[in-house]
Structure 1
Amino acid sequence: MPSARASSSPSPSDTTAPAAASPSATPDPEAARAEAEAARARDAALLANARSLAQIIEAQARVAQDELAGLDPQIEEVATDLDAVNANIAALQAKYDTRRSLRDRLERDALRMAALPSAAVPADLSDAQREALDDLRTLQSGLLDAQAKLTERADLLSTLKGSVGAKQAYLARLRDRARSLAAAAASGDTDAKTAQIAVLTALAQDATNAQTALAQLVASAMVRDGAAGAWSLPVRGVLTQPFGPTSFELEPPATYKGVSYAHFHAAIDLAAPLGTPVTAASDGVVAFVGHLPDGAMIVLIAHAGGYVSEYAHLDDTFALPPVKAGQAVNAGQVIGFIGLTGITTGAHLHFAVMKDRAPIDPLGLLQAP
């Protein structure tokens, strides 16, 4: 198993500006996680109050570093769990192999009967035979449980490492943009404005790349069979940005109903506190759980009738989405939690609905809960 214990958090010198104090080293993973989560909450407030582009980027970098610090102890804990599970499996397997190698008649009978369904096991077993059979079945059950736990822990470790990779790439882009803005600011107003335009263009390109990746995911997720079910809001929150054309420069260009727009928001944004549960807006099947190229954690759900719903900027550190691709979900079932992943200026849910690949205004479908 590859080592999972190397620290994923960058040093303070790697950040765009003096970051909030990193959580102190502690042998208690829960305490380290809680400390990092509290730091993220403080820096989320800085992000919400940021006014300049430089301040926004600095706050985003702080949040990303806080989340990396929160992932470190979780990866350490899961890696330790994996070591323990592997050791347990090795011990159980050794015991099982020992049983198989014994030539004692009781052991041979137990091995033979262990392969039978319970109903086919003779009822007139002696106490010694019953004890040998129970012992062997206990070993088999222990092996199966340990292997299931190994799979679950390995999947979690893979998910956490995916979050680390997304954040490291995102933080690297933020550092480059912060350096560009700082250098231009020192050269004068003209250079500063040019640098801001360049950074905004780069951010818009990130958003475009994310939309391209999303379109590919949507195309593979559509389910045309069946009738669409009822829809409801996935989170209780304040509508901060509606569906449609916008002057917000971070939104990508789009063509909607034959009209081209320089900036178009193909979703609605609902502001809510960090950690607020997000629920499926309608019955469906989870098509994707993961990160877009801009670092946003999303869940995609395919619904009957050619509908696909997207839930973006979900938490990928302190409250991972509790669903997996291929899982059937019901309307109102929790599928994630409000986070700060990807290009965002505050805690909110980016909620989009596509019909036959084309974006539609979710408010035209939704019934408030």
Structure 2
Amino acid sequence: MAGYGRWSMPRTIAGAALAALLAVGVAASGAVADDLDDQKAQIEDSIESLEGDLEYLDADIQKTAAKLKDYQSQLPAAEAALAEAQGRVQAATDEVSALAARVELAQENKDQIARQIAEDEAKYKDVRKVIGQIATQAYKRGGVSGDLSLILEAASDGDLANGIDLADQAMRSQNAALDRLGQQGATDRNAQARLVAVEEEIVGLKAKADAALAREQAARDEAEESKREVDALVAQTEELTDELAAKRPKIQARLSAQEAEHAAVLADIKARQEKLLREAEAKRKAEEAAARKNGQKSSSGGSSGGSSKPSTSVSGWGLSKPATGGYITSRFGWRPTPAGTIDYGGMGGYVHAGVDWGFGGACGSPIRAAASGEVWFAAMSATSGKKVTISHGVVNGHALATNYHHMSSYVVSVGQHVSRGQVIGYVGTTGNSTGCHLHFETILDGSAVDPLGLL
């Protein structure tokens, strides 16, 4: 859809902003917006509104810009998905590390228990060996020999009684050690049970660790896929931005030509309206002079070209809606440049000089004269397509004209007088238009004003 005006759209600076998506660190694990239907609807609404904002561009440029908008809209969700996937990688990595630490600790515990059991077993064997030696010697000699005295480090005088006492003390000492080792043996049997439990724990922990490693790998694969998606979106965004930028000189030249054409049309209308105003003023003065001469009041109301028939659908300017049905798709006024698009005109936006009515994409609805008047223009324009301009004369002290653009056809001719509500053509999409619609303008004293303020 199209209308006259000056163009400008700011260029996307994709570099730093988009590259930041690739530097997303590990984020706290959180769900990406799970209402994908709403998100999709928001993106589609954004792209649909873009068509109105880019109405002065060719359909292929709009299509490219819509793709760009789509990719840009998908980037935040892709970024969030990447951050979440990286968070899962970190969580899985932490789990693997924690399980590995637990396995190591359990293994150390197992080794410690095994060493303690081995040490106690060795001590037990040594004590039993010494006790056996003492008992054997005592049995063979019916007493304690000199050799045993030497073993027990008997007194230097070799007194037998002393030697026996020392042997008894040695036996008692070894038996006490044996008792202690017996008690330790019970402890070691418990330790053996604990050793079995630890070994089972290690097996279980290793199984968990293997599962955690599998989850980590899956998370890494998912993160890599998310990163590839982000990389692709960034690359596509940059490619389309560059593509639109490359077309900028051609588009600027065409927009300049369109702006010049529009200015020439307005200048022509303004000149003719100024003539109407001068003629109306001259007529008013002549009527006043004649009235003074005849002693009568002037009959001039300072208005012409409008119907005197009362109608609830007619505004104070004598205008009625130029089409039945349809809905407003674009209003009059300043239209800021959509974020992320190319600045073609350098003004940050443009003025949409009229109001657009859409008809669900269908052409052919009848277009009616908003008020009675004279057809000033009925021809084909490169920008406006098949268009009609009707002068409604001087209304409320101002020269008023209406423009009807992008018709599929018109059924009036220059110089023809038409009545309010008379069919003058049919809705189309000729000229610089990307869909069936009526672009309607109101020109007041040579300047485009908001039609909704006059209807």
Q: TM-score w.r.t. structure 1 length?
A: 0.43
Higher RCO (CA < 8 A, seq sep 6+): 2
Q: TM-score w.r.t. structure 2 length?
A: 0.36
Q: Which structure features the higher share of helix residues?
A: 2
